[in-house]
Structure 1
Amino acid sequence: MSRPRTMSKRLSDIRESFWLVPAVFAVGAVTSAIGLSALELQFDLPFGGVVPSGPAGARSLLSSIITAMISFTALVFSITVVALQLASSQYSPRVLRTFLQDRTIQATLGTFVATFLFAMVVLAALPAQRDEGLPELSLAVSIALVLASSGTFIYYLHHITTVMRVSHIIGSIGAQTRRSIAQLPPPDQPSATVLGEVIQTVPATAPGMVSNIDLALLARLAREHDCAITVVPIPGDFVVTGAPLLRVHRTAGGTGRPVPADRAEQGVTIGVERTPGQDLGFGFRQLADISERALSPAVNDVTTAVRAIQEAHDLLRRLAARPDPVHVVRDDDGTVRARFTGISYDTILAMVIDDIRLVAGDQPRVMHLLDSIVRDLASVALPVHRATIGRRLPARGPGSH
């Protein structure tokens, strides 16, 4: 059963979708071709001689453009898909999302499709009689689009070979995770107060990964029913059907009426895969996957593992100076209306430090790097994280000082 989604989530899905930019290019090409051809044929614009060719030559030119662009688009993106599959098998299948959201790849596909559609519409607008006027400016634009497609293809080859490099992939994951860290609640935000008794538990009606939580929607619902709502799973967790999804609490001095389960569910988006944003652990999971795969006997690429660990080090250092995130919406009087907690620092350390240590036991270079990272984190971490980091400090030998 598909879960209802809020309008903000629908708009976010559209913005992040692969088809949006090509669709905009396609609609623009069709609209421009119809409008330009109609203007030329209706008002006999003075552009004669731009393309010295009769209807037969124009028809042959446009047919060649259409046929070539269809074949060209299919060939280019078939090869690209194969290359991306190879990259995902070598690094991590989760990095494919990075390529699908790449605007250059989307714009390249959009340019190819726009050239094809523009030429097709102009071909349909060609007059049947030889003595009738030709939309010569539209023909010139079709040729210009072919030239633009050729230039775009050359740049696309440069771009795709760049973004498929492992350093670029790791850097993109790091940049994405830094944006997620920047969106965390301020470190000096007052901690959430203890909520009252639980008066209702809303179960999950479908399994999947928690990808987004709309606290504003949950807070509005809580105000309507004079209660407080907490989200049980954290972003990135997998929930099973029937597991607790939301808990409704009584507030101090409030009546605490139960909320409609169908409306409350709309505040939590459950999908088939993890997504960046509120799911802070997704970036660390990708970096850990790349490291572990690089350290496997089948790949044995220690340099790639080290680069991924170094990127994770920067992210861990940023989080060490922050308490574990608690996202809260309060009323003006301080009453908590909606709340969910983010991933804990201990869980992230287990994902990056502990998991990689298990597969890097025979790689001194990696083990030394992990030990130095833990020591560095211990020197900058908040007191609340020191016990967690201390459990991972390397044991000091008898001769160490």
Structure 2
Amino acid sequence: MSRPRTMSARLAEVRESFWLVPGMFAVGAVAVAGGLSMLELQLDLPVEGILPSNPAGARSLLSSIITAMISFTALVFSITVVALQLASSQYTPRVLRTFLQDRIIQATLGTFVATFLFAMVVLAALPARDGERFPELSLAVSMSLVLASTGIFIYYLHHITTVMRVSHIIASIGAQTRRSIARLPAPDEPAAMVRGEVTQTVPAPAPGMVSNVDLPLLARLAREYDCAITVVPAPGDFVVEGAPLVRVHRVVGATDRPVPTDEASQGVTIGMERTPGQDVGFGFRQLADIAERALSPAVNDVTTAVRAVQEAHDLLRRLATRPDPVHVVRDDDSTVRVRVDGVRYDLLLAMVVDDIRLVADQQPRVARLLDAVLRDLATVALPAHRAAIACRMSPAAHSSH
């Protein structure tokens, strides 16, 4: 599987990873515990009486904290994993990514791990004999972390029960997709074609989903080798190994120079799954999956399907007033260097309307809602999108429209 090899892609992958926040909490806890323990022992800070005890009592207390936090962390997150599996099976497996990127969940795990590691480091710093000075302030901080973990756990229960509600899941998908729409190129930007002859085709190095296109990297290559570059698949498309990934075009008056295949393929990240960001269609796919599962005989939850269609309606209406997205990088003299086509509006309509209507033939409430959505879209859509909307209207919707 092709992994992101550019620095920006690697940084983005780290920012979106689940382990980043817990890892930062863990490293910070070890550093603070070690530094605070040494500072107390070396500088003889005046902290007597904060938590009176002796080394034996402190050792027993810290051992209890360590044992309890390990068991507590394992119990809380094993139950959470089971709950997330149930949610993914009821709605769609693709919503698991939303939970894994939740900062509250990450911070909760980080606090539990930090409490455990802090107590373990302080335990290691305790003196072996009675009568020697031991880090009382560090012991007090350990107790404070236990209290903080208790408070965070109570808030975590509230948060996890909130984010697992289907209305919240659908709203989160909609908010995430609206951020992707906001990053699309300006609607008034002319989408120039790359008309030069194709001189080179770079194949996909591995099968997978196109998750990101590094426009600055491809533009730099195009200027360095005096050519134009088009990316064949759109973000969110699946490519097979060896299929055309990038095409290199001749620029008028330029000398043909082959672009290194490895460098060109670095501009397109291929991953195991679709991701939000440049892939606007990912949110629509999730909403359609939720609606289809809700309408299945095993679930039969029409209200959830209606809520998913309503969220998709808002997203489709925002895109109906925009041309199909095309990312273009130009030189100062308007020479096109890079072109990447986004997902077409017709395909988004197919995801939401065609797929859901196919499973909603016995649910008039959903069928009427889809007709109402299409009628509303027809009132605001650009002329380029009206044919795709009109062909999906039922006879009843046409007559009322």
Tell me: CA distance 1:66–1:197, structure 2 relative to 1, closer, same or farther (3 Å). Answer: same
* Structure 2 residue 113 is matched with structure 1 residue 113: yes
Whether the 8 Å CA contact 2:372–2:397 is kept in 1: the answer is: no
Whether the 8 Å CA contact 1:287–1:309 is kept in 2: the answer is: yes
Tell me: CA distance 1:298–1:236, structure 2 relative to 1, closer, same or farther (3 Å). Answer: same
Range that drifts further, 360-369 or 254-263: 254-263
Q: Where does residue 270 of structure 1 map in the other structure?
A: 270
CA distance in 2, matches of 1:57, 1:127: 12
Aligned sequence identity (%): 80
Q: Where does residue 39 of structure 2 map in the other structure?
A: 39
Q: Where does residue 226 of structure 1 map in the other structure?
A: 226
Q: Where does residue 101 of structure 1 map in the other structure?
A: 101
Q: Where does residue 173 of structure 2 map in the other structure?
A: 173
Q: Where does residue 344 of structure 1 map in the other structure?
A: 344
Whether the 8 Å CA contact 1:218–1:229 is kept in 2: the answer is: yes
* Structure 2 residue 362 is matched with structure 1 residue 362: yes
- The CA deviation string for residues 365-387 of structure 1, in whole angstroms up to 9 with x for no partner, is 00000000000000000111111
Whether the 8 Å CA contact 1:209–1:272 is kept in 2: the answer is: yes
Whether the 8 Å CA contact 2:194–2:230 is kept in 1: the answer is: no
Q: CA deviation at 1:174?
A: 0.1
Q: Where does residue 55 of structure 1 map in the other structure?
A: 55
Which structure 1 residue ranges, 5 or more long, are not aligned? none
* Structure 2 residue 180 is matched with structure 1 residue 185: no
Which structure 2 residue ranges, 5 or more long, are not aligned? none
CA distance in 2, matches of 1:303, 1:252: 57
What is the alpha-carbon root mean square deviation over aligned residues?
1.2
CA distance in 2, matches of 1:78, 1:335: 56
Q: CA deviation at 1:394?
A: 2.0
CA distance in 2, matches of 1:11, 1:331: 27
* Structure 2 residue 197 is matched with structure 1 residue 197: yes
Tell me: CA distance 1:272–1:397, structure 2 relative to 1, closer, same or farther (3 Å). Answer: closer
- Give the AA of the match of 2:254: G
Q: Where does residue 74 of structure 1 map in the other structure?
A: 74
Whether the 8 Å CA contact 1:330–1:337 is kept in 2: the answer is: yes
Q: Where does residue 322 of structure 1 map in the other structure?
A: 322
TM-score (normalised: structure 2): 0.98
Tell me: CA distance 1:349–1:399, structure 2 relative to 1, closer, same or farther (3 Å). Answer: closer
CA distance in 2, matches of 1:367, 1:261: 49
Tell me: CA distance 1:228–1:241, structure 2 relative to 1, closer, same or farther (3 Å). Answer: same
* Structure 2 residue 240 is matched with structure 1 residue 237: no
CA distance in 2, matches of 1:276, 1:299: 27
- The CA deviation string for residues 158-207 of structure 1, in whole angstroms up to 9 with x for no partner, is 00000000000000000000000000000000121342110000111111
- Give the AA of the match of 1:196: G
Whether the 8 Å CA contact 1:3–1:206 is kept in 2: the answer is: no
Q: Where does residue 9 of structure 2 map in the other structure?
A: 9
Q: CA deviation at 1:393?
A: 1.8
CA distance in 2, matches of 1:400, 1:33: 71
Matched residue of 1:40: which SS? helix
Q: Where does residue 300 of structure 2 map in the other structure?
A: 300
Q: Where does residue 130 of structure 2 map in the other structure?
A: 130
Whether the 8 Å CA contact 1:249–1:256 is kept in 2: the answer is: no
CA distance in 2, matches of 1:2, 1:258: 22
CA distance in 2, matches of 1:130, 1:398: 89
Q: CA deviation at 1:255?
A: 2.0
Q: CA deviation at 1:2?
A: 4.4
Range that drifts further, 244-253 or 351-360: 244-253
Matched residues, number: 401
Range that drifts further, 93-102 or 255-264: 255-264
CA distance in 2, matches of 1:54, 1:333: 77
CA distance in 1, matches of 2:221, 2:213: 14
- The CA deviation string for residues 84-116 of structure 1, in whole angstroms up to 9 with x for no partner, is 000000000000000000000000000000000
Q: CA deviation at 1:253?
A: 2.1
Range that drifts further, 244-253 or 282-291: 244-253
- Give the AA of the match of 2:47: F
Whether the 8 Å CA contact 2:4–2:10 is kept in 1: the answer is: no
